[in-house]
């Protein structure tokens, strides 16, 4: 039987894909055995009349050894 743990990370990027990749990359710096990233919320940050960047709230699941 495996035991999994979930942490929440907020990350930003120039696209939603970049933001999700940034969340996974940041989690991998301190956590081993990352199995999935679940995007809970997506925000677009606006400056003037254009989208400047995207922010995602992610739940990252990893397996405890």
- What's the CATH code of the domain at 44? 3.30.1660.10
* Among 14, 10, 13, 18, CA closest to 60: 10
- For each successive 10 residues of the chain (65 residues), what is the average pLDDT? 92 96 93 93 96 96 92
Residue 48, domain extent = 3-64
* Among 12, 25, 7, CA closest to 54: 12
Can you tell me whether residue 14 is helix, strand or coil?
coil
pLDDT score of 16: 97
Give me the number of domains the chain comprises: 1
């Amino acid at each position: 039987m495996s035991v999994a743990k979930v942490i929440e990370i907020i990350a930003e990027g120039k696209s939603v894909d970049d933001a999700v990749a940034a969340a996974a990359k940041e989690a991998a710096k301190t956590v081993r055995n990352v199995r999935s990233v679940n995007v809970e919320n997506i925000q677009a940050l606006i400056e003037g009349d254009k989208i400047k960047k995207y922010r995602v709230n992610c739940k990252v699941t990893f397996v405890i050894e």
